[in-house]
Amino acid sequence: QVQMVESGGGLVQAGGSLRLTCAPSGRTFSGNAMGWFRQTPGKEREFVAGITWAIGMTYYAVSVKGRFTISRDNAKNTSYLQMNSLKPEDTAVYYCAATSSYINTSPREFYSWGQGTQFTVSS
């Protein structure tokens, strides 16, 4: 089964920027949209941003709108999450996954989850 591979995590100071990358391991992305989620210990996985693969329509959680930008490169089979103006509350493990839906924010509708990439925003 195809699994997404996330990369780009690390440590960044508040107000800084970071870019995460996601690509399916070894195969072409086959979903209709790709989503980014985040999770902190003891909390449910939270939707962050999504993008439809064919036309690149984007949608965001309110908490990140205006600060995060999701994009995709179809030729590279890769999605990016550019994160600016980072806050300590953005600290989490970030995951990407695919969905056969076009606009969906529920983790239950996504599949091929990656292992996640951790990043920490220091205050």
Rounded to an integer, what is the distance from CA 37 to the centroid of its chain? 5
pLDDT at 1 over 80: no
Write out pLDDT tens, residues 67-105.
999 999 999 889 999 999 999 999 999 999 999 998 899
What pLDDT was estimated at residue 47?
A: 98
Nearest to 30 by CA among 70, 79, 77, 95: 77
Write out pLDDT tens, residues 26-68.
788 888 999 999 999 999 999 999 999 999 999 999 999 999 9
